Amino acid sequence: MQITVRDLSLLLNGEVVGNPDAILSTVTKIEEGKPEALSFLANPKYESYIYTTGSTAVLVNRTFEPSQSLSTTLIKVDDAYSAFTFLLEQFASISTHKTGIETGSYVSEKSNVGSNVFVAATAYISAGASVGNNSKIYPQVYIGDNAKVGNNCIIFAGVKIYNDCVIGDNCIIHAGTVIGSDGFGFAPQADKSYKKIPQIGNVIIENDVEIGSNCSIDRATMGSTIIRKGVKLDNLVQVAHNVEIGEHTVIASQSGIAGSSKIGKYCVLAGQVGVVGHITIADGTVIGGQSGVNSNIKKPNLKWFGSPAFEYGDSLKSSIIFRKLPDMMKRLRELEKQIVEINIKK
């Protein structure tokens, strides 16, 4: 797809500084610029690249003023990062614009598939399942009995959605993720063996959720495991049975949430965070990477770090003390030695 700088500027309500007739056909990072490419500059740390970039045009904030001469055309907009994100969305929608049911897929006669849906070869849609309008189902996706996928969803290759699970509108689920596998429920027996507890609930994923690749979201023992609207999960995240994640919470890679815990709204969990079961985390909580949360967090909008996690400011002070421990131990031993010498002299 080709577009002139002038037309793109009109689309973004921008201002052109340079050649409005230049042609754009692709997007690229500013440091890897090439002819007919559009890049963007939002972070001042990357400003040096704008003076050497090979990109034909660069999106910048309206407040940007170059300190050197430029060989590229500028498109000034209110928010360069947001504008570039919008353009990437348009490119992505073109590349994923597919419709029709391919040969080699299985769509049950008892399922309900909406209009403008794409179902790739080797995908499997079970009896009683439904797929909403404009959704894309890629190869080797399994949608179980009575499962529901909403409108405008993209379910990438190899995703498994077990029976009775519900996916809302405008959701993206990346390759290899499993929705609705059994929760880790086993009852210890007198002979020290374990008896499986049937997991008869489901998973409910609300609208506008994106889930990374190779995640596991377990069905509830009873009731529902719930991912509220706007939640974003990175790759390799484990969500156990009966967990509830509040709206617009973000969880980074390799984090795990144990059973029946409740994560609030607008929280941020960094990479490799572990949350024990049956606790509640308040709205707006931010938890630093590799932290372990083993008790309720009741106060909203605080930062936590450490294992076990405690408030961020205190954790920083503790880490400073911890780093000084070897020196403190050395000084303590010297003091002990001096005390012994003083006592001998007496």
Catalytic residue numbers, as ranges: 241
Residue 316 and residue 314: Cα distance in Å, rounded? 5
Residue 247 and residue 18: Cα distance in Å, rounded? 43
Strand pairing class (210-211; 232-233): parallel
Helix (H, G, I), strand (E, B) or coil at 262: strand
DSSP-derived secondary structure letter, 336:
H
- Residue matched to tokens 């190869």: 139
78: tokens are 């209110």
As a whole number of angstroms, the longest Cα–Cα distance in the chain is 99
133: tokens are 């309008």
Beta bridge partners of 160: 142, 178
Q: How many CB atoms lie within 10 A of CB 226?
A: 21
Terminus-to-terminus CA distance in the chain, angstroms?
A: 92
Q: Give the strand order in the sheet containing 118-119.
A: 100-101, 118-119, 136-137, 154-155, 172-173, 210-211, 232-233, 250-251, 268-269, 286-287, 303-306, 309-311
294: tokens are 């083993």
- Smallest CA-to-CA distance from 176 within 163, 195, 203, 157 is with 157
299: tokens are 């106060």
- Residue matched to tokens 């076990």: 308
148: tokens are 């529901």
Cβ neighbours of residue 332 closer than 8 Å, sequence gap 6 or more: none
Cβ neighbours of residue 272 closer than 8 Å, sequence gap 6 or more: 253, 254, 255, 289, 290
